[in-house]
Structure 1
Amino acid sequence: MLILSRKKGESIQIGDDIEITIAAIHGDQVKIGINAPKHVEIHRKEVYLDIQEENANAAKNIEGLLHLLAQSKKDSGSVKKNDG
């Protein structure tokens, strides 16, 4: 991990198109501004982790649904007609 010291108003450049600026410092809280292209997703870490968890749960639900659909299709294919 790279650790840099910055003062209020100073910036850090990441690549060609991401700039992080120290906007304010109040006690142990630092406010930062981030300039980045719209296609770059920016989240607080706790929000990002929640999104990852939700995505994983959604994937499990989809897998379960696909399994049920496959089982249903398999069961309906094995139903025998009674011609009397």
Structure 2
Amino acid sequence: MSDIFRPQELIAYWRPAEGFRHGLEPDRPPHPGQARNTLCGLTITVGAPTELDWLAPTCSDCWDEARSRRDAADGGAR
């Protein structure tokens, strides 16, 4: 499994919104109704995702930013 999901070094919370799964800033857990900033620069309102929502494609800009943050936290070792 990709080490981008290491819980001890949380990079982002992922939530479906606007047709994609977006990465959210990891400062606090997301809850339905909150307005949150995504790693790609959008502001979304967190919803209550359905099982089908989780099948949405991952936002490539959020994914790239999450990888950059992971690599920076690892000292750029990748």
* TM-score tier after normalising by the smaller chain length: under 0.3
Say which structure, 1 or 2, has more relative contact order (CA 8 Å, 6+ apart): 2
**Alignment TM-score, normalising by the size of structure 2:** 0.25
Q: Which has the higher helix share?
A: 1
**Alignment TM-score, normalising by the size of structure 1:** 0.24
Larger radius of gyration: 1
